[in-house]
Structure formats: structure tokens, C-alpha cells
Amino acid sequence: MKRALAFVALCLVSTLAHADEGMWLFNRPPAKQIKEGYGFELTPAWLEHLQKSAVRISTGGSGSLVSKDGLVMTNHHVGSDKIAELSTKERDLLKDGFHAKTLAEELKCPNIEMDVLWTIEDVTAQVEATAKPGMSNAQKSAARRAKMTELESEAKKASGLKCEIVTLWQGARYHLYSYKTWDDVRLVFAPEKAIAFFGGDTDNFEFPRYDLDVCFFRIYENGKPLQAEHHLEWSANGSTEGDLVFVAGHPGRTERLFTMSHLEYMRDFQYPLAMRTLWRREVLLSTFMGRSEENRRVGEDEYFGVQNSRKARTGIFAGLLDPTFMGQKFRTELELRSAVAANPDWSAKWGDGWDLIAQSKKIQREMAVRFGALGGGGMGLGGDLFAKAVTIVRWADESQKPDGQRLREYRSTAKDSIERSLYSEAPIYIDLEVERMASSLQNMAELLGGGDPTVVRVLAGKGPGPRAEELVRGSKLADIAERKRLFEGGAAALADCNDPLIQLARMLDAESRLQRKRFEEEVDPLEKEGYSKVAASIFALKGEDQYPDATFTLRLTHGTVKGYEAGGKKIAPYTNFAGLYERANERGNVYPFEVPSSWVKARAALNPSTPFNFVSTNDIIGGNSGSPVVNKAGQVVGLIFDGNIESLVLDIGYDDKQARAVSVDSRAIAESLLKVYSASALHAELMGGRAGG
Amino acid sequence: MKRALAFVALCLVSTLAHADEGMWLFNRPPAKQIKEGYGFELTPAWLEHLQKSAVRISTGGSGSLVSKDGLVMTNHHVGSDKIAELSTKERDLLKDGFHAKTLAEELKCPNIEMDVLWTIEDVTAQVEATAKPGMSNAQKSAARRAKMTELESEAKKASGLKCEIVTLWQGARYHLYSYKTWDDVRLVFAPEKAIAFFGGDTDNFEFPRYDLDVCFFRIYENGKPLQAEHHLEWSANGSTEGDLVFVAGHPGRTERLFTMSHLEYMRDFQYPLAMRTLWRREVLLSTFMGRSEENRRVGEDEYFGVQNSRKARTGIFAGLLDPTFMGQKFRTELELRSAVAANPDWSAKWGDGWDLIAQSKKIQREMAVRFGALGGGGMGLGGDLFAKAVTIVRWADESQKPDGQRLREYRSTAKDSIERSLYSEAPIYIDLEVERMASSLQNMAELLGGGDPTVVRVLAGKGPGPRAEELVRGSKLADIAERKRLFEGGAAALADCNDPLIQLARMLDAESRLQRKRFEEEVDPLEKEGYSKVAASIFALKGEDQYPDATFTLRLTHGTVKGYEAGGKKIAPYTNFAGLYERANERGNVYPFEVPSSWVKARAALNPSTPFNFVSTNDIIGGNSGSPVVNKAGQVVGLIFDGNIESLVLDIGYDDKQARAVSVDSRAIAESLLKVYSASALHAELMGGRAGG
């Protein structure tokens, strides 16, 4: 190991984790690092309190409980699809904002779940025990999947909690996470999108920023505000430059431990395909939105989501295409492989790990386009209605099988979530559904070729546009009662169902399953086997005090409030209210730099030097949106809502020179609630009061 | 033939040309069709007058001489890149419009050529005589190319005109076109873009429309307004529904005669690649433009160009993906092939034509991605500066060779055009150049893979972004004097030139040439050979009274002013001024539906029932933009500026049920010049007066 390290030192590349690196597991916190680096002790009680105040939101973001009465704080952009769903042609809550002055005015959200992580248990031994020697990799993989479903089911029965086994280290560890979960969630407050997303796509992933990217929901239990066992207090004074701050949230997915062959696969196959899809969707939505004011409202939320993904992926892709970055990755891998090769025992046990992964990627390259075109396990065509058709068709089959033999997402423990999603009252916009379907039909034809037998069957003698019209407008699935009838009726109800989307899902089902089977038998087991060996060699070399790649589960990160340099300029860590008005003025106060009228009116009342947004070195990525930023006392000092452009590469590797997490300052939230929105009851609740003031 | 026709009739598909189909050659006009269909005689004098009044514009559009003093009318969107080049941060001519009240105020355009077709000569026999029996297809192809260059050179010497051999019927016929050409072209009048492109991308390719998509240039000769031998008169009364109208213009490229294997190649390879590029560019430009008001101005013209292409290609692609359309093509091809197979003589001579084309497409499929990534004969990287570097590097080599051995675009007769383009004073926007280069570097990496040796060499150890910065900002090619020094200095000047863009062009040159050589030796000759056989069999079966695919050369089309039905609604052929204000009102008068202030002020003065835009059945496509629409007397009644969405498929097949050409009505032009723009001198000149009123 020493030699390897020396080699790396010669290459001027450090393999040591940077000071504030790490998205740590709550059951394996970076206590030592923080003690050594900051002289602060992470106690079990401190950790439990933060863990049980952190919220995972089913729409793909993070939040935190911030009052005794179940108030949840998250980002406006995390809540925005719900805000959009609660909007109508007459009442545009994204544009105008929303404020429930009483509990009675709070708006119930369709199809949302909020989870709080309650317990973590390492079940690696039980899962691994089912993978017997002599089994093929595919058999091991199937055995593990079956065991995971079984363990989840047992745990749910025992605790009544929502239970999910999380695959860590790409398969080297399995942890059983049990969640308290709620689905009665109501919208309490949202500012106007113009201030929540001031600067729009232009300033997204940039700093300095001036965004009030916050909204509040409330969890209800048995029709009453949740009496939360834990919630975060509001800091009286906020933060100061140099402060140690923590973030508890749910980073979505990182690829830091990926091997070179895997990164190359991402670079040469996965990302080019993904970028193409994002460009297509961005153009489609922009065109759709241009057609009318109503289309603009309907498409806006998805449009910003696509722009956000496109920008994020562009940043990651830039990292993959950066020879310096890839060179570092190569040298780090070489170091590890050399260390393994130098130890005969390790070499025998783990030496082929990298080759197994490379082999899995080779197979994946062969099947990537077709697999992608068929939806990578789903069915690859667009729109909410088709997704519901797929759920109905697959549930009819899967629900007849024992749990261990089902596709994972259709296991019996998932039924509640499936039903909630299927029967959601969220509006479905038929015109947009047609566009999505047409675009996805064209996409399938592009990927597979217009003469491909599947494409020919799917198009059924029509071009993508007319075929999409026929499929979407001919379907009755927009009617919740019809979805319910088919879902509950199962195979019998489907047998004589002539709904065109149901028929399409049935037509694609077999081939899609074949593709997925191939992936699950030929690619995934090789990859998991490979990574468990790579992880084992990392543990042997460096100990288990590591953090695994992100998995949209709860992680703890630490960092300091700190500016940085970019383009030769020093960038201060805080912006303030005065800066907002300056930036708007500089851009002619036109969209997306238009200050909403509420903020124009309140300008005189606001303290211009109140900190608005700030940056810190916390190791965060997408999925962390809406995470609370807390001080050493565990009090809220900020709300994560973005990373700067230099942080996008964090998906594949940490850097603290320029990469920064971007937060709304708690002081800006408190002051604007009082002075811009006259939300004194909400403000009082945050300061320790009860719901309703 | 009779049996084949009967077969087709059974299939309910007509192979007869539709009534108004055809982009006819001026030396093979549809005299018979027009006589029979409309009782109107196309006389040689009538044709010559129209031909010599029609203008080809080097930026890729059409126009016409409309006064004795060399006034040229075209579309605003054809002139817009020149209008953009004449704009500065302080003077935005796209936004504000332009009106030269005197000759002295007319603005000279950088880098533009206007051509008028003077003579046409069939040189097929001379070209074909060089392709001797026993030669390989590649040898034949090379011999033909050399002969074409030689004939052009001789013709130029003899006439002093600009001479180009046009390859018709994909190689079955070669016609020598000789042009009068001018490069002193000045901007006379342009309305505000807001009215020229009212409705923006949303209404582009739609009807009803309300666009004043017109601008006027003036050709100068020896520093004085051109005294035109021919020009079109203005019609006193415009057109009426049902009128026979003609269009003389330069349709860019059609693919109507393409065989199935060629159409499938387009559908499965060419279009998916092209769409991807367009989406990428559209997103790139939209992001770039969002960053500042100046960026918006700089990027706007290219942005609309990309949106226009994307929309156009989407329409064509829809045709390629339409099984009904492709089924018709298949049956038409089957009919022709059956007729050839049934005749032993034809079969021996032409029977393998389709297979040769299929074989060429097979090779092209193999090389498509790499060939595309390397620019398909150019060098595949983005930006104006790099294009200039390529020109300089290649000219240094090519200018040393005899004409017949050069790459076609560097033949000695092209030197004037090359220099004009290279030394153009059109502004170069460095920030946009960096974006384009970065995007193209990323594109190359996506297509070839990040580990490809060429990609590795091109990136030179950096990611696409930083590498683009280094290349563009490190280059001195923005300086015209430097370009001149290198171009004139040739190989010697290049040998010790360390300009990074020059070095990059030199680095890519060899591989790009190899790809091109392979295309020119393996793909192109097979294809040409194939098509000349297919064309010969069409001539044998149907006679030579056909029109070849479009080649951005002058064509004549005929049609009638006629509404159509869409979505169950009858669409009237004319819109009027009143409709403009209604449409703006309906869309809240916000961009891109904002009526400019000049039109708001003039509203009361305008006659609300003046026809504004109209549709006709003329067979036009992209490249026809700016073409004059004339009545039987050869007088201007309109100005082509668009086709409806149903017309996009005209690239690959004609239809007159819904496809319509869209024109600005001559009466709208005349009235708005007087009443909105107080351009009485210009109006008087159109009505038969002289320049300057």
C-alpha cells in the first residue's frame, strides 16, 4: 500500500478524502473526522434527533420537520409538481404563490408520500447467505432479490413500518431501512415562482443567487396535524462565514466508486443517449408551451425539471470528458488494483472484480440501445397515462406470483404506493400526453429503426403523430374509476379490454420483460459481484470507515460556510436582499429576473443586508434539494436548494476548491414570511409555536 | 406499363403527378401541363423574363429584381443574417428595422452574392464521355468531376460569367448554368422582426399567418445601382382565390426520387443524427441567449434558423416514419422495377440500379457516424473561426494542385467566393464561438467515444469547455489581416503558425480527407451510377417530361390560390390586416405576438380588409423563401415566405390536398410601405419609378 500511495503522490494526485468529503450513513457517521477536523462530537442523541427530523419526499427530494405540528420545510422546486397539480386554469399557484392562513385552508396534495427514517439494520449476512457457492451469478442475484423481498415483508409485518432494503456499495452491503410514512400531506405556503426561481434556468447552478426556494407542507395523521416526536428548531442567529454546518438529506445517486470501464460506459453510451433525450424533451416542451398561455402553465413545471436535468448532466458529462479527471480516476483504480495484485490472498478473492464489471458493461453496450428504447425495464413510451397502463397490465400478472418471483417494484409491500399513484387525482393534460407519446414513438423509431418489427407493430400503420392521437384520445384511462376497475379486475378485466393504451402495454410487455430479464441475469449480477469484490478490497485496504455511493437514502454531510474563487474573482459566501434588487435592475427586471410585486411593495420594509443565499462546502448533489442545513446545536440555519456549476461533477468525484452547496439563509425565510407575506402565524410556528399561531 | 398502372390503381395509389406538382427546369418547362390544365401558354419570352428577374442569394434563399434600378425583394428571414451582421449593440436593426431614405443611406452588406441565371446548356454528353467503359465506378466518378471542373473553367473564360455544372437526376443529367453575379449588395429596407416574424417559432409553418416577411436590398454595379435588363412589375390588383400563379425560385433539396433503401437510410441514420444536432443547438443557443441582452441579440438570428430547421425536419421525418407514405413509395418503386424487369433490354442495362444504391447506403451506414463526426467532408467542429481555419489550411494544399485533382469547393474558379467569405467583415462573437466549439467538441466525443484517438488528440488533455476556451480565445483569426496573411502566405506561412485553430485544422485534415475520399470513391459513385440507371428507366417508361429533384437552382412551379381543410375546419386562402390585431389580442400582445409600435400607430390608417398573407398550391420547399409569386402577366402578386406544416413533407413527396405555400400579399407590402413606414420613395420605385423616388 505504501508503494502505491507513493506512486500516486508522484502523480500529484491525492487519494485521500478531501476534508469535507462524504455522504455518510447515519449508522456509520464521520465522528472521527469531525472530532479531528472540527473538535466537535457527534453524539448518538444528536444524530438520532437529526435523523428523525429529516424527511424523504416521494417526488424526489428532501425536507425536514420544523414544528411540533408536523410542518415540513422543503424547496419550492421540490414541491412544485404538487403546487402545479393543485393549480387550475383559474388559480395558478406556481405563478401567484399560496398561503393558508388557517389549517382549514391548507390544500391536500394528490399522490405524495413523506417518509422519516426510523431504524437501520445491517442484513448483509442474511442476504448473502442465500447466495450459495456453486450458483451462477444470475442465480445468486435472483436468490438475493427473493431474500430481500422476504426480509422486507417480515420486517413490515413485525414493525408496521415501511421497510426497504438498500443496496450499498453496489452490492457489498445490504441495510434494511424502516420508515414512518404518511400520505396525507397538505400545502401550507409557497411563494411566487418568480422569487422561488429568480434567475430561472439562466442562474440555475450559478452563484451569487437570490432565490427564496422554499415551501411548507404539513403532515397529517388521522386527519390532524402530526404531533412530531422530533423536529428541528430554528436558529436565532443563522450562520457566519467559517461556521461548521451539517446537511441531512437524500442525495440521489453518485458514481464515485465506479470503475474505469463503468465510467467509460457512462461517457460513451449512457450520457450521449441521455443528453439526446433531454434536448428532445426540452425542445418539445418549449414548443408546446409557446402555443398558448394554458399550455405554458401546464408544461412549465416539467420544462424546468428537464432544463435542470440537462444542465446537471452537462456538468457531469463535462467531468467524464475531462482527461485530467479521468486520469485521476485511472490512477486511483490502478493503485487499488496494484495493492490487490500484490497480495495473493486478496488477488485470489477479489482480483477479477474489475474484469467482471468490464464484462457486464460490454454486454450492456450490446443491449443498451434496445434496452433503452424499451424503457430499461419499463416500456419506454411516454406520458402518465401509458405509465398507468403499464402498471395495470403488469400488476395483473405479477400479483398472481409469489413475492420472490415478482418484478421488484410489484412486490406485495408496494401495493399501497402503487394504488396511491394509480388513483392519484393529479390532473392529466391530454394535449401534453399526446405530445409525449408522439415524441416517444418517434424516439423508439429513431433508436430501433423505422423497419424494426416492434416499431412497426407499435405504430400500427400510422406515423408517430396520428398514432399518438389515436392512442391517447382513444383511451379511457384518464378516468380514475376506469383505472380502478381494470386494476382490481386483473387479468379477467384486461382480457376483453380494448383500451388502446392497455393493448399497447400488453403488446410491448413480453419483449420488454425479455430485455429486462437479460439485464437482470447477464448484466446486473456480474456488476454486483464485481463491485462487492472491489468494495471488499477497499475495506481491506482502507478500513470500513468509508461512505458508499448515494442511493436516495438519508446521508449526513458536513462542511463550512465558505466563498470561493471563479474566473479570477473572489465570490463572497453570502448574498443579501439588496443584491436581489440590483440583479433584477441589471437585467431590466424582465423574466426570469422580474421581482414579483409582493417584493416590490415590501422593499422598504426589508433589511437590505439580510443574508439571502449562501454557499458551503457540504458534499451534496441532486436529491439533497430541500435538505435542512443545521448548526452544531442542530438548529436550522439554511435550506439547501442548489449547487454551483462547479459542483455538478460531485456526482462522480468530490472537490472543495470551487464546488459549493447553495442554500437559502434561514434569516431570509423568516424575514420574508413576516414582511413580504404577512405570514405571522407560520413564522410564529417556526419560532417554536403551534399550528395556527 | 399498363399492367403496372393497373396494379397501382388497385392499391389505391396514384403514380400520376398531381395537377400542380413539379419544380420544373426553365429549359424543360411544364408547358404542356399548363396549356392543358389552365389554357395558358408559357412562351419563351415570358420564361426568359421571369428567369432573368429571379435572383439566387448566396446565404441560401431566393429573391427577385423588382425595379429598373436593381432593387431586390426577398424575405426578411432570408436577409436576416445580413441584417444581424449590420447590427451592433447600439443599433439593433433586427429589432428596430431599417429604412434608407436615400441611396446614400443604404448599408453595404458583408459577404453576400446575388446571382441571376443567364444561360443553361446540357453538357451531359461531354461529362459522360470521360467515363470510359472498363473504368471502376470510382474512376468514372473522378473523371466526371475533373471534366466538370474543366468545362466550368472553359465556360467562365469564354463568357466571363460564373459557371456551375448542376448534377440533375442524381447524376443522370449535367447542365451548365451560367450566372451574372454581384457582390456589392446594400440593405434598403427591413421592417421590425416583430412584424416580419410575427408569431415566432410558434406560428412558423402554420396558417393563418400575419407576417410582413419582406426586406429589400439593392444590387450595385461599379458603385452605382444596377440597371437591370429584366425586372418584375408590380401587379396593380394582386390575386384572387382560384388564380393561376407562378413561383420562380431556388428550392434547396428534395428527395422525391430516392429509392426505398435511400429513404430508409435517411429515416434510420441521417435524420436521427440530424435531429440530435438540431436539438443540441437549439438548447445551446437558448441557454446562451438567456445570459444577457447582448447575447440574445447575438444569438437570435441563428436561434431562429435552428428552430426553423428543426421544425422542417420534424415534418419530413414524420413522413419517413409514416407507414402509409413509405408504403406508397414502396409500391411506386415496385412498379418501376417490375416494368424494368419485364423488359430484358432494360433489365440488362438498368436492372441493378436499385441494388447499387442499396449497396452505397450499406457502406454509408458503416461510415456514417465517423464521417458525420469529422464533418462529412469538412472537419466537423463548430464556429465561424474554425471554418476559416479549415479554408486557409486546405487552400494552401489544394491551390498547389491542378484543378481536376482538387476538392471541388477549392477549384480555381471558386477563389473569388472563398476570398469574399474569408475576408468578410461580418462580426464574429467570441463568446458564441467558444460555446459552439465546446458543443462540437462534446458532440465529437459523443459520436466517437471519449477514448477515440482522434478525440483524445483534439481535446489535448482538457475537457471540451476549457479546450474550446483555449482554442478560440488563443486564436488570432478574428483579425481579417491575420487571415489574409495566412491565406496568401500559403504553406510557408502555415509551417510556423502556432494559431491553435490552424493547428487543429491541420491535425484533423488527414483523417477528414481519408473519410471523404472513402465517401467519394465508395459511396458516391455507386449512388450516382445507381440513380443514373433509375433515371434512365424512368425516362424510358414515362418520357423526359419530368422534373428532377431540387438542387438549389432555378425552378418554375405553378399553382392556384386556394384554401384547404385542416382538423375539420375550412381555412380561407387569405388573411388580412384586421386578423393581425385580433391574433395579437388573443395572445395578450406578448412576444412573439406583440405588434410593434409602428403598426399600433398606423392601425387607423390601414385598411383592415387588405389581404396580408395567402396560400397557394405551388410546389415549394426551403430555398424558395423570398421567391416572387407572379400572375399570368408575370407581375408580382406575392412573396413566398413559408409553407404550412402539411407542406413539410413536400421534400419527399408532393401533395395538394393540404400542403400549401404561404406568401405575403403584394398589396400588404405596398400599403404598409406607405402607411406604416412612410417609405413613399421605395413604394414609388416598386410602382415603376426610379431609385430615390
> What is the average per-residue pLDDT within B202-227?
96
d(CA A350, CA B353): 59
Q: Which A-chain residues 616-635 have CB contacts (< 8 A) with chain B?
A: none
| pLDDT value at B10 more than 80 | no
Please name the residue of chain B whose CA is at the shortest distance from the CA of residue A321: B463
d(CA B347, CA B331): 19
* Contact criterion met (CB below 8 Å) for A250 and A623: yes
pLDDT digits (tens, 9 = 90+) for B596-610: 999 999 999 999 999
**DSSP states of A103-126:** GGG-EEPSS--EEEEEEEEE-HHH
Helix (H) or strand (E) holding A558: strand A555-560
| pLDDT value at B4 more than 50 | no
Measured between beta carbons, which residues in chain B are less than 8 angstroms from residue A437?
none
Lowest mean pLDDT among A332-341, A541-550, B9-18: B9-18
> What is the average per-residue pLDDT within A53-81?
96
Chain-centre distance of CA B371, in angstroms? 22
pLDDT digits (tens, 9 = 90+) for A446-483: 999 999 999 999 999 999 999 999 999 999 999 999 99
DSSP classification of residue B509: H
Measured between beta carbons, which residues in chain A are less than 8 angstroms from residue B449?
264, 267-268
Measured between beta carbons, which residues in chain B are less than 8 angstroms from residue A323?
456, 459, 461-463
Parse chain B into domains and list their residue ranges: 2-113+183-256+548-686, 377-522
> What is the average per-residue pLDDT within B517-536?
92
C-alpha cell at A257: 466508486
Please name the residue of chain A whose CA is at the shortest distance from the CA of residue B283: A279
Q: Which of B377, B378, B402 is nearest to B389 (CA)?
A: B378
Is the Cβ pair A450, B324 closer than 8 Å? no
Please name the residue of chain A whose CA is at the shortest distance from the CA of residue B308: A287
Is the Cβ pair B450, A321 closer than 8 Å? yes
Confidence band of B18 (pLDDT split at 50, 70, 90): low
Q: Which B-chain residues 305-344 have CB contacts (< 8 A) with chain A?
A: 310, 317-326
* Contact criterion met (CB below 8 Å) for B553 and B166: yes
Confidence band of A13 (pLDDT split at 50, 70, 90): very low
Taking chain B, what is the end-to-end CA distance rounded to the nearest angstrom? 61
Return the pLDDT at A236.
Answer: 86
Size of interface A-B (CB pairs under 8 A): 119
Which residue among B279, B445, B461 places its CB closest to the CB of A280?
Answer: B279
Confirm whether pTM is higher than 0.80: yes
Taking chain A, what is the end-to-end CA distance rounded to the nearest angstrom? 61
d(CA B605, CA B596): 15
Confidence band of A2 (pLDDT split at 50, 70, 90): very low
pLDDT digits (tens, 9 = 90+) for A82-122: 999 999 888 999 999 999 999 999 999 999 999 999 999 99
| pLDDT value at B693 more than 60 | no
Question: In this complex, is the C-beta atom of A474 within 8 Å of any C-beta atom belonging to chain B?
Answer: no
C-alpha cell at B86: 449590420
Residue of B197, B198, B201, B202 to mutate when probing chain A, most A C-beta within 10 A? B202
Question: In this complex, is the C-beta atom of A299 within 8 Å of any C-beta atom belonging to chain B?
Answer: no
d(CA B644, CA B658): 8
Residue B587, CB-side half-sphere exposure with 13 Å CA sphere: 23
Q: What is the ipTM of this complex?
A: 0.86
Is the Cβ pair A310, B442 closer than 8 Å? no
Beta bridge partners of B616: B561, B661
Return the pLDDT at B274.
Answer: 92
| pLDDT value at B13 more than 80 | no
Range A251-271 burial, b when 16+ CB lie within 10 A, else e: bbebbbbbbbbbbbbbbbbbb
Phi/psi of residue A508, each to 5°?
A: -85, -15
* Contact criterion met (CB below 8 Å) for A662 and A613: yes
> What is the average per-residue pLDDT within B316-333?
93
Residue A624 makes CB contacts below 8 A (sequence gap 6+) with A62, A247, A249, A250, A251, A640, A661
Return the pLDDT at A14.
Answer: 36
Is the Cβ pair B463, A202 closer than 8 Å? no
Confidence band of A18 (pLDDT split at 50, 70, 90): low
Q: Which residue has the higher pLDDT, A425 or A615?
A: A615
- Backbone Cα Rg of chain B: 25
- Chain A: nearest CA to B282, how far in angstroms? 7
Is the Cβ pair B318, A461 closer than 8 Å? no
Lowest mean pLDDT among A170-184, B141-155, B365-379, B394-408: B365-379
Which amino acid makes up residue B271?
Y
Average per-residue pLDDT for chain A:
93
Q: At what angle do helices A293-320 and A323-341 cross, to 10 degrees?
A: 50
Return the pLDDT at A138.
Answer: 87
Phi/psi of residue B477, each to 5°?
A: -70, -10
| pLDDT value at B9 more than 50 | no
* Contact criterion met (CB below 8 Å) for B207 and B59: no
Assign domain B2-113+183-256+548-686 one CATH number from 3.30.1330.40, 2.40.10.120, 3.30.420.10, 2.60.120.10: 2.40.10.120
pLDDT digits (tens, 9 = 90+) for A512-556: 999 999 999 999 999 989 999 999 999 999 988 899 999 999 999
d(CA A90, CA A638): 34
- Chain A: nearest CA to B592, how far in angstroms? 9
* Contact criterion met (CB below 8 Å) for A155 and A411: no
pLDDT digits (tens, 9 = 90+) for B620-636: 999 999 999 999 999 99
The CA-based angle B352-B354-B355, given to 5 degrees, is 65
> What is the average per-residue pLDDT within A658-670?
97
d(CA B371, CA B394): 18
Q: Which ranges constitute the DSSP H helices of B476-593?
A: 480-495, 500-518, 524-542, 577-586
Neighbours of B484 (CB within 10 A): 14
Helix (H) or strand (E) holding B122: strand B114-122
* Contact criterion met (CB below 8 Å) for B152 and B140: no
Return the pLDDT at B377.
Answer: 64
* Contact criterion met (CB below 8 Å) for B148 and B166: no
Residue of A206, A273, A277, A283 to mutate when probing chain B, most B C-beta within 10 A? A283
d(CA B636, CA B235): 5
| pLDDT value at A285 more than 90 | yes
Q: Which B-chain residues 544-563 have CB contacts (< 8 A) with chain A?
A: none
d(CA A33, CA A23): 13
Residue A492 makes CB contacts below 8 A (sequence gap 6+) with none
Which residue among B268, B323, B587 places its CB closest to the CB of A462?
Answer: B323
3-state secondary structure A30-99: CHHHHHHHHCCCCCHHHHHHHHHHEEEECCCEEEEECCCCCEEEECHHHHHHHHHHCCCCCCCHHHHCEE
- Chain B: nearest CA to A392, how far in angstroms? 29
Confidence band of B5 (pLDDT split at 50, 70, 90): very low
Return the pLDDT at A693.
Answer: 56
Question: In this complex, is the C-beta atom of A362 within 8 Å of any C-beta atom belonging to chain B?
Answer: no
Which amino acid makes up residue B287?
T
| pLDDT value at A3 more than 90 | no
Helix (H) or strand (E) holding A391: helix A384-398
d(CA B252, CA B640): 14
Q: Which of A223, A117, A224 is nearest to A180 (CA)?
A: A117
Measured between beta carbons, which residues in chain B are less than 8 angstroms from residue A456?
323
Measure Cα distances from A13 to A8, A17, A20 in Å: 6, 11, 17
> What is the average per-residue pLDDT within B634-659?
92
Residue B262, CB-side half-sphere exposure with 13 Å CA sphere: 24
Range A154-187 burial, b when 16+ CB lie within 10 A, else e: ebbeeeebbbbbbbbbbbbbbbbbbbbbbbbbbb
Is the Cβ pair B286, A291 closer than 8 Å? no
Return the pLDDT at A6.
Answer: 30
Residue of A313, A431, A446 to mutate when probing chain B, most B C-beta within 10 A? A446
Question: In this complex, is the C-beta atom of B296 within 8 Å of any C-beta atom belonging to chain A?
Answer: no
Is the Cβ pair A271, B318 closer than 8 Å? no
d(CA B485, CA B494): 10
Return the pLDDT at B293.
Answer: 87
Which amino acid makes up residue B328?
Q
